Amino acid sequence: MLQISSLTVDIQGSRILNGISLSVAAGELVCLIGRNGAGKTTTFRSIMGYRRPSSGKIEFDGVDISGLPTWQIAQRGVGFAPEESEVYADLTVAENIELSTWTRPTGRPAAERIAEAYAVFPKLRQYLARGGAQLSGGERKMVSIARALTLDPKLLLLDEPFEGLSPAIIPLIAEGVASIRAMGKGVLMAESNVHHVPDYVDRLYVLERGELMFSGTLAEAYRDREVMRVIAGDAEAAA
């Protein structure tokens, strides 16, 4: 599904990503983990066409999408829920979620895609008429992911889906991500906190200063002292 090969990205003369390679298959949850500034968001923005790679290749379903316009990448079936959520304040929850069905027609009826999003996050049914500006951070996050899901993507990019959320909301998001994965969609998730990574993750990539330093399972990451020093801090790694 998604195959990134030797991706390098330079921004204003600075190398942000240096030759990273990763893959996501259908039905997989893959996590890209690293400290703030490691290059996670740049990776996502490059996949979505906001950043043009300096070198390397980004392939989706066997087609090179490197440098394509963002709308064309979305039309091919890549959904994106950014860290900032970016819910439209002047639209209701129902309108925010329905929006993607207007922008990407597929063979599936809009009503079916919308119902699927509410099945993933049933709590949102309570807020259908509520405006985007009236939502909490966790509610905005659920709307953002649901809106990306109604695009009917094959691959979903989730940038820091648990960041800054209350402990009560995190399990709801985690359950939603598990449901999306169970649908057979590929999910690439970025996280800075290893303790937010769901136990059911298929594979981890650890990004440090724009380079990949680890690829493996969550259990393998916990056994690697150098990896834990980077993603959990020196004190925890030494415990």
What's residue 233's pLDDT?
A: 54
Query: Helix (H, G, I), strand (E, B), or coil: what is residue 128?
Result: coil
For residue 167, give every residue at least 6 positions away whose Cβ sits within 8 Å of its Cβ, in sequence order, or none.
Answer: none
CA distance 183 to 180: 5
- Global pTM value: 0.92
Q: What is the mean pLDDT of each run of 10 residues along the chain (239 residues)?
A: 97 95 97 94 96 95 94 95 90 94 88 96 94 91 95 96 88 94 96 90 96 95 91 51
Q: Which CATH superfamily is domain 2-238 in?
A: P-loop containing nucleotide triphosphate hydrolases (3.40.50.300)
- Give the number of residues written for the chain: 239
Q: Can you list the pairs that 211-216 forms with residues at least 24 positions away whose Cβ atoms lie under 8 Å? A: 211/18, 211/19, 211/20, 212/20, 212/21, 212/22, 215/22
What's residue 239's pLDDT?
A: 40
- Pairing verdict, β 14-24 and 29-33: unpaired
Question: Sign of the C-alpha dihedral, residues 194, 85, 94, 48?
Answer: negative
Query: Helix (H, G, I), strand (E, B), or coil: what is residue 168?
Result: coil
